[in-house]
Amino acid sequence: MALKHVGKEKRDNPKIVITSFREDDDFEEYCNVQTIKNLIPYDNVEYVPITDLIFPKSTNEYERGLYTSSLEKIDVLYRPAHPAHPIDFLIYDVATDGNRIGLHLLDLVKDHKLAIINPPVSYFLQSKVLMMLIWGCRESEMFTKEERHAIEKYMLPTYLTESEFLKNKMPYVKKSVYSREGNTIEIYDGNGRALNASGYRHYEDNQYIYQKYINLPEIDTVNIG
């Protein structure tokens, strides 16, 4: 499908690039991407740091598009999702020369000059709405008896409104569906009174989910030596 988007076939020897931040900028993402690259069953895949992607001006020599630092035109770009740099942050990606990489990429994809591949997790599993769907469908035939038991045991009751918790006077947590790393989270008591909130508020424009509040377990430790 990606090759079809740019009007090419595998026999055309397309240029496929996998990208991420550099090792020094985000070691975890770099290692994840190198692992994924080694698992791709296709020989013609090159790793290029995202800051090395080039958008040369359209000339007789260079067609409009995305290029590697060696000026090879890229047909397919694979940017795996990462918790700290998810797909919804694409528009904020900037090259070392100040080029707004993300916005340029979206324009190229729109004009069929480039195809971008991202795993389904980039779009589907990033949303906390999935937890609401699983909780809401836990009694359906979608899950086996063992799966239903696991959902009840390990997942928190999750809804799109706080009404269930207010009705039962249960404390709850309000979370943005795309927030991460403790960002934009609020804790309420069973009467809807705010008790605590995270200091960072980067996802206030998102939809929210509401989960049952659970205290962290206390663990007794023993000093040895």
Taking only the tens place, the pLDDT of each residue in 108-120 is 888 998 888 875 5
Could you write out the DSSP letters of every residue in 81-119? --TTS-GGGGGG---TT---HHHHHHHHHHTTS-EEE--
- The better pLDDT of the pair 31, 123 is held by 31
**At residue 136, does pLDDT exceed 80?**
yes
**At residue 47, does pLDDT exceed 70?**
yes
Which domains are present in the chain?
2-122 (3.40.50), 129-212 (no CATH)
pLDDT for residue 121: 56
Residue 194 CA to residue 129 CA, distance in Å, equals: 22
Looking at residues 5-12, what average pLDDT do you find?
80
pLDDT band at 123 (very low <50, low <70, confident <90, very high): low
At 138 the three-state DSSP class reads: coil
Taking only the tens place, the pLDDT of each residue in 162-176 is 999 999 999 999 999
pLDDT for residue 225: 62
Choose from 35-44, 136-145, 169-178 the range with maximum mean pLDDT. Answer: 169-178
Query: Is 62 within 8 Å of 101 (Cβ atoms)?
Result: no
